[in-house]
Amino acid sequence: MHARRRLELIIERMAAPRACKILETSGLTGYTVLPAISGFGGDTRWSRDADMSASSDMVVVVSIGSDDKVQAALTELERLLGSHIGVLSVGDVQVLRPERF
């Protein structure tokens, strides 16, 4: 197994394309975008089923890469989160095929 970093971003769907572009520009070789169904934070519960407008939908963007590429993305992602609802986490992971990340 080989050490890499996993970046996980929960963000408004409308901001996801910009987040993904930041990941690509930072040299990360891939990501996955998943729908976020519901959540709780900041004393607020939200649910995709209960929202009146799709503009408030949230997605989860996951990417795995080397520490230097993840670090390169963090500054720009922090700027993006300055104007959008979102949560960003980064952690250590082990991967089987390091050449893919």
Q: Cβ of 1: how many Cβ atoms within 10 Å?
A: 8
pLDDT value, residue 55: 52
**Could you read off the pLDDT tens digit of each residue along the chain, which spans 101 residues?**
999 999 999 999 999 999 999 999 999 999 999 999 888 877 878 787 765 555 568 999 999 999 999 999 999 999 999 999 899 999 999 999 988 88
**pLDDT at position 96, please?**
94
Does 99 fall in a domain?
A: no
In a domain, 101, yes or no: no
pTM of the model: 0.88
Q: Looking at the 3D structure of the chain, how many domains does it have?
A: 1
Q: What is the DSSP letter of 24?
A: H
pLDDT of residue 54: 55
Residue 12 lies in a domain: yes
CB 28 within 8 Å of CB 74: no
User: What count of residues does the chain have?
Assistant: 101
Give residues with Cβ within 8 angstroms of 85, minimum separation 6.
11, 12, 58
Residue 85, φ and ψ in degrees, nearest 5: -70, 135
User: Which residue range forms the structural domain that includes residue 77?
Assistant: 2-94
pLDDT at 88: 97
pLDDT of 32: 98
Asked, for residue 100, whether it belongs to a domain, the answer is no
In a domain, 15, yes or no: yes
41: CATH: 3.30.70.120
Residue 76 lies in a domain: yes
Question: Among all chains, which residue has been given the structure tokens 């939908």?
Answer: 57
